[in-house]
Amino acid sequence: MTPSDVKATLSFSDGSPSMELPIYKGTIGPDVIDIRKLYGQTGKFTYDPGFLSTASCNSTITYIDGDKGELLYRGYPIEQLAVNCDYLETCYLLLNGELPNATQKSEFQARVTNHTMVNEQMQFFLRGFRRDAHPMAVMTGLVGALSAFYHDSTDINNPEHREIAAIRLIAKMPTLVAMAYKYTVGQPYIYPKNDLSYSGNFLRMMFATPCEEYKVSPVIERALDRIFILHADHEQNASTSTVRLCGSSGTNPFAAIAAGVACLWGPAHGGANEACLNMLEDIQKMGGVAKVGEFMNQVKDKNSGVRLMGFGHRVYKNYDPRAKLMQETCKEVLMELGLENDPLFKLAMALEKIALEDDYFVARKLYPNVDFYSGIVQRAIGIPVPLFTAIFALARTVGWIAQLNEMIADPEYKIGRPRQLFVGAANRDVKPLAQR
Ligand code: CMC
């Protein structure tokens, strides 16, 4: 953090002494006012529910310019990474700060593939769930349970433990997601096959059966890999902040990532891809494109409680760059599968067109986000709707780990402990039961 020459002065209208606050500059993006000494010097807290104006940490990993619609991983634009790199290269970049050279890439790939199997005991743990359990309920349990199996990687303060936990989590997430799926449909688990790519292996574990050979389609493999890249990290969003806060207590990495999975599940966050696809299917049942106007009226009616899922973002006040790339992938996948006339894709395009021209959306700067098209791609690939958010969790795991490890390695790291403005009852006496 570079100190700025400019200082902020906080003054009070009641004559209390004013306070000078240091300002720090980042490489790009807004400066921050350092309020750490505020409570000590003034006895006051800042108040910012939802963190609208609060930087919770400093980070070198991901940068978003919400007004421009720009997303950078370690300085590289997402558009370039999506076209020139694969997911494991992106993982290496997020974890280590630089893209790998050819040797580093193959070493990293070998390390990850070496850890793709999960302890056989996990199968029996999985059996405790109902077959119709939501995959995110199962994933929260399975990821948390990893800490019961890999005792040699649970010390968050040991850099070697953190490193091996990172590799294990990246390697095992596809295996766990595929196991959760196979369990739901009552098919045998398919073990990883390490001569396949990361996404090719995942597709095989999902869709192969022991009765016949499964051939990975290169177009689908590439599309899935792109979904993984686009979801790999996104700065201090709700689940990442959850992972940081959870990890700040010194808990083990598997437990911290399980907390991230639980947070991601919500429909305002990762659950939006599932909610968006369900929304498109509901409109389709109502009459499809012809009913878009009627649906939009409901969205704009504040009393209806209906939102256009896959639209809007706390940070992006412009087109989410991931949504553009996802739309491209969506077209490619539908073409490959002969589904170019897919009614849900047509419906999504119609909704997007209307929303981008409508005053309600224009005034609020609401644009499609990554979840608007990702559901259509995943559904076309054959991934069941309730599994969408688990795929997001799989892809985001690397971001969560990179952010967690960055926090632990930061000399300024402390347990996260927000304060509050207390507005409840002040000190009062308990009355005996008969007098209450
Ligand atoms: N449909 C209709 N109106 C909306 C929408 C939407 N999708 N999103 C925001 N608005 C309106 C909202 O009603 C409010 O209007 P007003 O100023 O008149 O009260 C205004 O826009 C600002 O909304 P907000 O809820 O204060 O904004 P936020 O930054 O707190 O919420 C959001 C961001 C993503 C939760 C929200 O846009 C939303 O609920 N979108 C739909 C869910 C979704 O697609 N989530 C995925 C986000 S991207 C992937 C991820 O991060 O996981």
371 is an active site residue:
yes
Own/partner pairs, 420-429, CB within 8 angstroms, 24+ separation = 420/45, 421/45, 421/47
What integer pLDDT is reported at residue 228 of this predicted model? 97
Burial class (CB in 10 A: 0-12, 13-18, 19+), 402: buried
pLDDT tens profile 377-435: 999 999 999 999 999 999 999 999 999 999 999 998 999 999 999 999 999 999 999 99
Cα separation, 306 vs 298, in Å, equals 6
Strand-by-strand arrangement of the 76-77 sheet: 62-65, 70-73, 76-77
Residue 404 neighbours by CB under 8 Å, 6+ apart:
156, 162, 243, 244, 247, 253, 256, 257
Check if 313 has its Cβ closer than 6 Å to any atom of ligand 1.
yes
* pLDDT reading at 185 higher than 90: yes
Ligand 1 in reach of 314 Cβ (< 6 A): yes
Residue nearest atom 45 in ligand 1 by C-alpha distance: 268
Q: Is the CB of 371 under 6 A from ligand 1?
A: yes
Q: What pLDDT sits at residue 152?
A: 85
The residue among 61, 186, 46, 170 whose CA lies nearest residue 114 is 170
With cut-offs at 50, 70 and 90, classify the pLDDT of residue 155. confident
pLDDT tens profile 110-152: 999 999 999 999 999 999 999 999 999 999 999 999 999 998 8
Mean pLDDT value across the chain: 95
Catalytic residue among 269, 371, 410, 429: 371
Any atom of ligand 1 within 6 Å of the Cβ of 309: yes
Q: Which of 115, 231, 313, 320 is catalytic?
A: 313
Whether residue 396 has its Cβ less than 6 Å from ligand 1: no
Helix (H) or strand (E) holding 182: helix 159-185
Q: Which atom belonging to ligand 1 lies closest to the Cα atom of 314?
A: 29
For ligand 1, atom 12: residue with the closest CA? 364
Catalytic status, residue 301: no
Protein residue whose Cα sits closest to atom 29 of ligand 1: 314
Please choose from 64, 261, 301, 314 the residue to mutate so as to test ligand 1's pocket, defined by most ligand atoms within 8 A of CB.
314
In this prediction the pTM is 0.93
- What is the reported pLDDT for 64? 97
Helix (H) or strand (E) holding 3: strand 2-10
